[in-house]
Structure formats: C-alpha cells, structure tokens
Amino acid sequence: MAASNSIFTISPSGNVARISLNQSLSPPLSLPLNRSSSVALRPKPRSSSLVLCSTDESKITAEKEIPIELRYEAFPTVMDINQIREILPHRFPFLLVDRVIEYTPGVSAVAIKNVTINDNFFPGHFPERPIMPGVLMVEAMAQVGGIVMLQPEVGGSKSNFFFAGINKVRFRKPVIAGDTLVMRMTLVKMQKRFGIAKMEGKAYVGNTVVCEGEFLMAMGKEE
C-alpha cells in the first residue's frame, strides 16, 4: 500500500479537513526576546596574542651566558685590615680577622677570615688533612667581638680588654683551607659596673653554621 501523503483533522464543529503534506508549511513563529532574556549566540573570536611564561631553563641559560667569575659580588668593606689593626692589639701570626663587612656601633659586627693553606697552623693540624683548629675559630670570633667592645660607643680600649670565657660552644662542621669564615658577634648584655660583657657569636661557611657559642669579655680598669 502506498503511503499517504495527506493528513486529516477534525475541527470542534465536526468538519473534516484534509491537509496535504506537500503543502508548504507556514514559517515558525519568531518570539521577540527582550534585552534581559536575549541570548548571544555569536562565537567568541580566538585571541591571537601569545602569553610568554618565564621558565627555569631561560634562567639557567642566562646564568650560563655570564662567566662564573662575574656572577658573585665580593664582600663589602666596612673596615679594611689597616683599620682593624688600629683597633685590635693582635699581630701576626695571631690576628685572625681580615675584613669587617658590617658594623653596628655598640651592637654587633660581622667580619671574615680567609682560610688559606699558608696559615701557619696547617702544617701541624693536620699535615694530611688541613683543618682549622676549633680553638682558633673561637679566638677569631672573640677578636670580632673585640672590634665591638673596643669602640668608643662601649668605652673599651686596647690596654684593658680581655677574653674572659666561653659557654655552649659547638663546632658543627670542619673549616678547611680555601673556606671563607664569616663571623657575626652580637652584644647581648653589658654590666659596666663589673666590666663584663656577654656576647653571642655564630660563624658560617656559605650559609652553613660551623661554630656557635656565648662569649664573656672583661674590661679592666685604667691604672
């Protein structure tokens, strides 16, 4: 049986109407939308801009372009060896401070000791493995403390300054030839009546603590 291409509808009044499927249907109604209910169907255009991200590779490449001898700045100089000699009474072979790189009057000082194979203690400590003696590390730190204590802000002088004692000293890592010993000494307490000062000290190689402890400084009376 051939398929019918017509449909029949019955109206409420009982009349039958025939509608051919070949007839063109009227276009669908278009409902206007107000501004609040309108929908934008336009496709969003693609952005052609590029986003550049910094990577570790670019940083490494930039570092490789700079020669290694130019990558690191030298320590600053607040006091050179000649100024240090004017403050400390020590002389060769017992002057163990090469440069002051930071100084806060009456409060603290940071200084360096360049440890070299030419230091006179290495032939005996030890011939096969040159290690800076711990007692000399403590002495070097005490000399940095002396730079703080012998200044006019504290009232000290070369003729009446003494290293009186140490407490809680710990050696964390060996210091060998070729290292740069960075020492910070800070004044914690000052008893002028008794002429005693307490200081805290830390010594570093790079960013590693190699020695730390508490120091007592005595200031004798002028005669």
Q: Which residues are catalytic?
A: 125
Q: How far is CA 144 from CA 18, 33, 103, 148, 191, in A?
A: 114, 84, 10, 7, 19
Residues 6+ apart with CB under 8 A from 190: 154, 196, 197, 198
d(CA 66, CA 70): 7
What are the structure tokens assigned to 125, written together? Answer: 């400590």
- Identity of residue 134: G
Amino acid (1-letter code) at residue 210: V
Q: Tally helices (H) and strands (E) across the chain.
A: 3, 8
Please tell me the distance from the alpha carbon of residue 213 to that of residue 138, in angstroms, as a whole number: 9
Angstrom CA distances, 131 to 115, 116, 122, 144, stand at 10, 10, 7, 21
